[in-house]
Structure 1
Amino acid sequence: MNLPEGRFANPKVRDQLSRLCLNGSDKIPKFILGSLRDKLAQGESITYLSFAIALWLRYLNGTDDQGQPLPIDDPMSPLLTEKALIGKDDPTLLLNIEKIFGNLSEPSAFVATVTHHLQQLYALGTWETVSRLLSN
């Protein structure tokens, strides 16, 4: 069984992508970036937290892996989608949005890890990227 497909095919998992990503520009700083900063300060792995950021950045492109449209419901969506479409698999433009990421565009380990994950998402697709990450 493919790990991600098995997980998300579970009928008990009711969250839809649109709800999970709803107002991401507000949620990401509140629920992910504090932990990410702590991990960076302690020299611990940021792999999964950076992957969560890369997934959100990929979502901001506005299409899924098959090119089907994804609704972006975020107060900053015009700016976010513009930068996502321009940057594509380079997250620099998005990571430089200080209102969301503060000074996190400065730690090279963070930028490099998010860039790696985002490039994998574009090159391999979401399911394959998640499968590889979970199998490591």
Structure 2
Amino acid sequence: MAERRVKGKRPAQQGTVVLDSEGLSRLVDDEPGVVALIAEARMRRMEVVMSALTIIEATHRKTDRARLTWLLSTIRVEPVDDASARSASELLLGSGLHGHKYAIDAVVAELAVRQPQPVLLITSDPEDMHALCGDAVRIVTV
């Protein structure tokens, strides 16, 4: 049965895609595989989300700033507040990883585990993210 769309109402979200810094970097660089993943996710009505810290981690001198700005206008960027920082700390403690090296990964993982399911996390660190997220998130390696 076809879904009817009520005027002015968006169809319900069907899950979430979370980008880590490498996922964002490859999207900015217009890498075909990541662009296709995001296009497919949007076609399936999945929301694309990332932590505000990811912007810092992914930006460097060669970053195409105009493309980054445009992409950020299409992605929900979540701030890091006290509650999310505390939850990220708990994930670090539970995984045995140290905050000095894995702080931003923990923030991204915390963001991922609290999103509407199903959740895909696009990352270049599958082992670390699996340690932080467990089975709550499907890891997609780039």
* Fold equivalence (TM over 0.5): no
Q: Whose strand proportion is higher, 1 or 2?
A: 2
Range class of TM-score, shorter chain: 0.3 to 0.5
User: What TM-score comes out, normalization by structure 2 length?
Assistant: 0.32
TM-score (norm 1): 0.33
Larger radius of gyration: 2
1 or 2, which has the higher helix percentage? 1
